[in-house]
Structure 1
Amino acid sequence: MNRHVRVALATLGVAAVAAIPQAHPAAAQTGDPIAGAVEDFATTSGYPGVAVVVTDDDGTTHHTDYGVDADGSAISPTTPMPIASASKTITAAAVMQLVAAGSVDLDSPVYDYLPDFRIHDPRGAEITVRHLLEQTSGITDLTLREKSLAQPATLAEAEQRARDAELATDPGEKYAYTNTNFHLAARLVEVVTGEPFGDHLRRNIFEPAGMDRTTTIDVTPEDLPSDVAEGHVYAYGMTPSTAEPHRFVNGSDGVITTPEDLATWLLVQQNDGVAPNGTRVLPAGTVAQVQTPRKGADYALGWEVDRTEDGKEVGHNGIWFTYTADILLTSSGHGIVVIGNSGLGLGNEGTGELATRVAAIADGETTDPMPPIRLWTDLVLAALTLLSLGLGLRRLVRTRVWIDRFGDRRWWELTARLVPRLVPTLLLLALPSLVGQVVGGGRDISLLQLVYYSPALMIWAGLAAAANLATIVARILGLRRRRGVALAESARPDKRPSRVGAS
């Protein structure tokens, strides 16, 4: 291995040891195991700020806040933050209010309520409102790439874009998670009620429940309220702040709230639709309906369901590229709210693990500290990046050696030696599909959004591609130069021998 590469890797190893999160005894000394778990998660997983609320079905709440936001303000129960896809539970509730009022039938076709929504596949007429809420419409991220396509600005435009959707399966046949289903569900609320979706949520859910600091937006980052700080991404143990990439989020993942307000939303669920202020927000029985999946399914109507030995846990995760959130209702009667100001990435599956750990602590169980998987993942990628850089520089320096060795080969032999250098570029271009399939379970993601997901992965992939392309260019130019010189030499007239000893 090149000496400079070895030195760089050795330096990286020293940095790795220094960067490993150390134990934080302060939280443990407070005697609060939840505070200790929050601090352990935040420092190990790279979250500058985390808010946790535990609710009990008697209406009491317990807050644990850690760290700061991107502006340096301390995280508190009233810090406004996005909850990403946990918003789907609220969209489903808005639809169910209309169902209870007799304005919508869950098992009627969506076409009945969205007369302008038509897709080319004739099976589209069979998509019902229920199919949207349980993610079984047949629309998937692969049949309508909602993140990498041009982004709409309104729910009406989202509906129009969805007309180009194809169906992967018959409606009702198979679960496939996609934000498009909830864009359409929110648009349905707009059309049926005749008012903007955000206004409808404010009048019918947020204000009655006492969620006074909660709203919903159309597009990130343009529509974010001014008091919402930027979130963070993670790279090599660092957490730089950055704005969320441009995306349409209303209906699917556009709710902006506070830990305190989100805890209120869980209390509404824990009390069969009645808010802590005594107002009935959801009709009796609605909570059980939206949290009961069809037989054999794990997704109900806007809620994820996990069956346990003691019954079931329901909740929903939320993933932005710069924030993550989780809500969880345990079989023992606890509600768990977790919101963190860093995005999903390699070695970090979001705040779900912390929510599960807090739930266990609330039930009196002990939990183990988290290993620093996120850091080690990025350090491995950093080592690969340095190795790719070192090998790439070595190839460029040795271009003349390669040309002297292979320059006289036939064109097809040279092509066979150069074409494999295109593999890193092809891999870079294929990364969105690979990550979407392997990590995201079929979700759509763009190349730019992958930079948010894992800067370390993209830096390695991009540098490896650039280094190999530079190798190809340098070798082709060297071959052309060599053959040009050879051609010029062959075109010169032979020198005549000198007349030695002529008189």
Structure 2
Amino acid sequence: MLRTTLCLALLSSTVPIPSPIPGSSPGVTPSAIDSFVTRYQEATGLPGAAVAITKGTKVLHAAGYGETASGDRLTADTPMAVASVSKSFTSLAVMRLVEQGTVELDQPVRGYLPEFTMADQRAAKITVRQLLHQTSGMADSAFREKSLPQPRTLREAVARLRTARLAAEPGTVFSYHNTNYQVAARLVEVMSGRPFADYLDDQVFTPLGMRHSRTIDTDRDLPGSARGHLQILGRAIALPEPAGFGNGSGGILSTADDMARWLIAQHNGILSPRSVKEMRTPSRQNPAYALGWSIGRTSRGTPVIEHGGDLFTSTAYQRLLPGYGIAVMANTGMAFDDAGTLMDGLTAMIEGGTPQVPATPPYLVTDLLFLLLTLVTIGLAVRGVSRSGRWAAVRTGRQRWRLLPCFAPLALCLAIAPIFRVLARGGDIMWIQVGYLYPTFMIWLVSAATAGTAVAAARIHGGLRLGARIRRPPA
């Protein structure tokens, strides 16, 4: 107790300790939280979520709701993926080395990690701070980390950078890029002489009493409790996470109980006040992003320190408000952002407002529209195939160019990932991941591509048969 009091006093002298939000609601009770989350699940079809809320150094509530993808009851001790919330943990791991005098933030990464080489001489100038600030110059536009063959270890994640180039001069541009934190995690391994998972367990999880938390390498390591869903027409469909590597950048699994301990640790001195201030000081290139934390305000103007996390089948969010901490994990993917929406509702409760619950499942109208288009497309395809002989009879010779539009959906289907990269300004993605983001659109697009190709093939076949009959000599 004395240690906590002293740490709080030290923090107040360097980093402002959150004071209670003016007008905050005294009704942020376990029953009120349970009621809101349950109503949200009923309205949206969200199958499972975990929530932790703290006030100062006390846990207001930590609970699980609904079911996991494997059908088990979700509790406060159920491990779930926290995705990119993991970046805050990786940043803390690096800062522990900084406090020990083993690493300096403004020194080049290569001085600590000689294996970090790229096909770009400018990479030698990248500093540890630039990795954590996401200003290293690495970016999806120059290194397609998602669509390349995925590594299995942090060593492999760094090794595959040997042929990569930078998108910008180090320290000049902010670009959110998972590889930054994978390199940082590998640096921790090398400088500590221990696997990253062991270092986190020894330096973070065990000291904080986070008994059910750990970090994993790839999607193949996700336990059943941490797997998630897509939603179509408001119904959750359990699906495996697309192939991907996440250690250091998004590989941590945690629980509501453990995340409550993590939130409290942000107030009671797991790092020195100087290090805490360092972690929450943004870069000049992006005043909204610090070392593994985002800096912002709520819609009501309350200052927050936060970080979100997205997988294709689950989402997570953590937020520190004046006097409070909130963590949410949901087992639906980034297309639905249930963790972020729940976070906003819980924040509204703390600010004295009323949390909003959607009237219908997200994208219900959009899903209905694309599924209707799919049925229409299939119907038109059946009609086109059945009438292919008649089409061939009236469109001969040069008129066969009219088949080209039939292949347009196939061309779009094959080009959807490059098109997404253009629309996302260089953001990388695999074809299958587009399907996870826009499931009913992709169902329609694949159906249209199949239908168009089938109609074209039937018409070509009909034309060949017609030509053969015309050329056949009379008996």
State TM-score, norm by structure 1: 0.83
Q: Is the 8 A contact 2:53 2:326 kept in 1?
A: yes
Higher mean C-alpha displacement, 425-434 vs 74-83:
425-434
SS in 1 for 2:200: helix
Q: Is the 8 A contact 1:190 1:196 kept in 2?
A: yes
CA distance in 2: counterparts of 1:485 and 1:414, whole angstroms: 18
SS in 2 for 1:264: helix
Deviation at 1:310, TM superposition (A): 4.6
Report the AA paired with residue 414 of structure 1. R
Aligned match for 1:480, one of 442, 460, 464: 464
Q: How does 1:230-241 map to 2 (within 5 A)?
A: 230-241=227-238
Deviation at 1:156, TM superposition (A): 0.5
Deviations 1:48-95 (A, max 9, x none): 111111111142321343211133332211111111111010001001
Q: Is the 8 A contact 2:381 2:455 kept in 1?
A: yes
Q: How does 1:240-251 map to 2 (within 5 A)?
A: 240-251=237-248
Residue in 1 that maps onto 2:290: 300
Q: Is the 8 A contact 1:152 1:158 kept in 2?
A: yes
Residue in 2 that maps onto 1:51: 50
CA distance in 2: counterparts of 1:89 and 1:31, whole angstroms: 27
CA 1:173–1:34 in 2, change beyond 3 Å: closer, same or farther?
Answer: same
Report the AA paired with residue 269 of structure 1. Q
Report the AA paired with residue 315 of structure 2. T
Deviations 1:174-233 (A, max 9, x none): 211111111101001111111110111111111111111111111222x235x6353222
CA distance in 1: counterparts of 2:218 and 2:182, whole angstroms: 12
Q: How does 1:92-491 map to 2 (within 5 A)?
A: 92-221=91-220, 223-225=221-223, 228=225, 230-271=227-268, 274=269, 281-295=270-284, 296-307=286-297, 310=301, 312-330=303-321, 332-345=322-335, 348-372=336-360, 373-407=362-396, 409-410=397-398, 413-415=399-401, 417-436=402-421, 438=423, 442-489=426-473
SS in 2 for 1:285: helix
State TM-score, norm by structure 2: 0.88
Task: Give ranges in structure 1 of 5+ residues lacking alignment.
Answer: 1-29, 275-280, 494-503
Q: Is the 8 A contact 1:421 1:472 kept in 2?
A: yes
Q: Is the 8 A contact 2:316 2:328 kept in 1?
A: yes
CA distance in 1: counterparts of 2:232 and 2:302, whole angstroms: 39
CA distance in 2: counterparts of 1:40 and 1:287, whole angstroms: 37
Task: Give ranges in structure 2 of 5+ residues lacking alignment.
Answer: 1-28
CA distance in 2: counterparts of 1:426 and 1:137, whole angstroms: 36
CA 1:377–1:33 in 2, change beyond 3 Å: closer, same or farther?
Answer: farther
CA distance in 2: counterparts of 1:391 and 1:447, whole angstroms: 26
CA distance in 1: counterparts of 2:353 and 2:39, whole angstroms: 17
CA 1:387–1:248 in 2, change beyond 3 Å: closer, same or farther?
Answer: same
Deviations 1:279-309 (A, max 9, x none): xx22223222212212452211111221457
Q: Is the 8 A contact 1:432 1:446 kept in 2?
A: yes
Percent identity over the alignment is 41
Deviation at 1:117, TM superposition (A): 1.6
Deviation at 1:160, TM superposition (A): 0.3
- RMSD in angstroms over aligned alpha carbons? 2.2
Deviation at 1:333, TM superposition (A): 2.2
Residue in 2 that maps onto 1:16: none
CA distance in 2: counterparts of 1:376 and 1:207, whole angstroms: 47
CA 1:228–1:87 in 2, change beyond 3 Å: closer, same or farther?
Answer: same
CA distance in 2: counterparts of 1:31 and 1:262, whole angstroms: 16
Deviation at 1:31, TM superposition (A): 9.8
Q: Is the 8 A contact 1:236 1:456 kept in 2?
A: no
Deviation at 1:335, TM superposition (A): 0.9
SS in 1 for 2:249: coil
CA distance in 1: counterparts of 2:371 and 2:277, whole angstroms: 48
Deviations 1:253-293 (A, max 9, x none): 1111111101211111133xx3xxxxxx2222322221221
* More relative contact order, 1 or 2 (CA 8 Å, 6+ apart): 2
CA distance in 1: counterparts of 2:158 and 2:101, whole angstroms: 23
CA distance in 2: counterparts of 1:56 and 1:450, whole angstroms: 39
Deviations 1:122-160 (A, max 9, x none): 211121111111111111122222121111111001110
Report the AA paired with residue 245 of structure 2. F
SS in 1 for 2:231: coil
CA distance in 2: counterparts of 1:69 and 1:385, whole angstroms: 30
Deviation at 1:248, TM superposition (A): 1.4
Report the AA paired with residue 400 of structure 1. G
Number of aligned residue pairs? 445
CA distance in 2: counterparts of 1:264 and 1:169, whole angstroms: 38
Q: Is the 8 A contact 2:46 2:338 kept in 1?
A: no
Deviation at 1:44, TM superposition (A): 3.7
Q: Is the 8 A contact 2:52 2:61 kept in 1?
A: yes
Report the AA paired with residue 357 of structure 1. G
Residue in 1 that maps onto 2:10: none
Deviations 1:349-371 (A, max 9, x none): 34112101111111211233224
CA distance in 2: counterparts of 1:229 and 1:108, whole angstroms: 37
Report the AA paired with residue 362 of structure 1. I
CA 1:316–1:229 in 2, change beyond 3 Å: closer, same or farther?
Answer: closer
CA 1:34–1:65 in 2, change beyond 3 Å: closer, same or farther?
Answer: same
Report the AA paired with residue 237 of structure 2. P
SS in 1 for 2:148: coil
Q: Is the 8 A contact 1:162 1:180 kept in 2?
A: no
